[in-house]
């Protein structure tokens, strides 16, 4: 991994490989890493998130996956971000401590989605309790209101968040509310937070308002195409970028 390098560009939300009898198949992750790097030119991963069905796995399985991705990604991947969110605060804290111990590049947390926080202070309090267990690890909020039902606007969440969570580095923004995303980006230019968009089907729209990159499932197998879109957008050649989108 590359310490201190800003998280940007494409981040593959990794799929959890399974054997036919439902056990985690750790043996193929080294091939998975090589495939992402060599075939898709993707050097960042987001492990145990939605695509990886992290919340359907037990704590031990999540730890094993995190360890294998960090181990196999050494000297090959730029960032291995581990999603450590859980309904149980102690479990989320345990996963955060584990991610720090194995050398993860960062951790991410979704909002609790059964007994939901009703305002930004409650949500930040939960995130703070998790982040504090890994005080040297970059922290990202994973905003996915379609699945969590927590629709607290990220723009408001960012007010003073660095004072509460010193390790806060940015947001995985998996929502179609591009106005909220645009206001986040506009508001925090000086903070240098990373805003990674999480709705693959409209990434180009997010790039147009200033997203730093994207986290998603399709970058596992359409990384090359999406990298070409990023390059076209940067030129800028919007006609070509739209073609790739």
Per-residue pLDDT tens digits for 111-134 = 999 999 999 999 999 999 999 999
Q: Indicate which residue of 43, 172, 197, 244 is catalytic.
A: 172
Any catalytic annotation for residue 141?
Answer: no
Give the side-chain half-sphere CA count within 13 A for 8.
11
Which conformational region is residue 4 in: left (phi greater than 0), alpha (psi within -120 to 50 degrees), or beta? Answer: left
Give the SS3 label for residue 203: helix
Instruction: Work out the pLDDT band at 192, boundaries 50, 70, 90.
Output: confident
Whole-number pLDDT of residue 182: 96
* Residues sharing a CB contact under 8 Å with residue 202, sequence separation 6 or more, in sequence order: 176, 178, 245
Measured from the Cβ of residue 228, the count of other Cβ atoms closer than 10 Å reads 16
The pTM score is 0.96
Give the SS3 label for residue 48: coil
Whole-number pLDDT of residue 3: 61
Instruction: Work out the pLDDT band at 188, boundaries 50, 70, 90.
Output: confident
Rounded to an integer, what distance in angstroms lies between the CA atom of residue 242 and that of residue 94? Answer: 43
Domains of the chain (ranges plus CATH)? 9-244 (3.20.20.70)
**Strands 9-13 and 194-197, how do they pair?**
unpaired
Task: Name which of 148, 150, 166, 171 is nearest 81 in CA terms.
Answer: 171
Q: Indicate which residue of 142, 197, 219, 244 is catalytic.
A: 142
pLDDT digits (tens, 9 = 90+) for 66-103: 999 999 999 999 999 999 999 999 999 999 999 999 99
Any catalytic annotation for residue 197?
Answer: no
Instruction: Work out the pLDDT band at 6, boundaries 50, 70, 90.
Output: confident
């Amino acid at each position: 991994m590359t310490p201190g390098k800003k998280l940007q560009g494409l981040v593959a939300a990794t799929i959890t490989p399974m054997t036919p009898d439902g056990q985690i198949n750790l043996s193929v992750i080294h091939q998975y890493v090589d495939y992402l790097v060599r075939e898709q030119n993707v050097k960042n991963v987001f492990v145990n998130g939605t695509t990886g069905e992290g919340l359907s796995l037990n704590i031990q399985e999540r730890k094993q996956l995190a360890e294998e991705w960090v181990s196999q990604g050494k000297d090959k991947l730029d960032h291995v971000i581990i999603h450590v969110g859980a309904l149980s605060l102690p479990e989320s804290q345990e996963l955060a401590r584990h991610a720090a111990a194995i050398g993860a590049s960062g951790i991410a947390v979704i909002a609790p989605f059964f007994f939901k926080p009703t305002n930004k202070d409650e949500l930040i309090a939960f995130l703070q309790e998790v982040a504090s267990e890994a005080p040297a690890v970059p922290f990202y909020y994973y905003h996915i209101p379609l699945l969590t039902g927590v629709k607290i606007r990220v723009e408001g969440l960012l007010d003073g968040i660095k004072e509460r969570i010193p390790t806060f580095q940015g947001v995985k923004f998996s929502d179609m509310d591009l106005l909220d995303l645009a206001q986040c980006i506009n508001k925090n230019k000086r903070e240098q937070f990373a805003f990674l968009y999480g709705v693959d089907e409209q990434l180009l729209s997010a790039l147009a308002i200033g997203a730093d990159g994207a986290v998603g499932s399709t970058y596992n197998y359409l990384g090359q195409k999406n990298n070409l879109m990023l390059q076209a957008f940067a030129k800028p050649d919007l006609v070509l970028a739209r073609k790739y989108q």
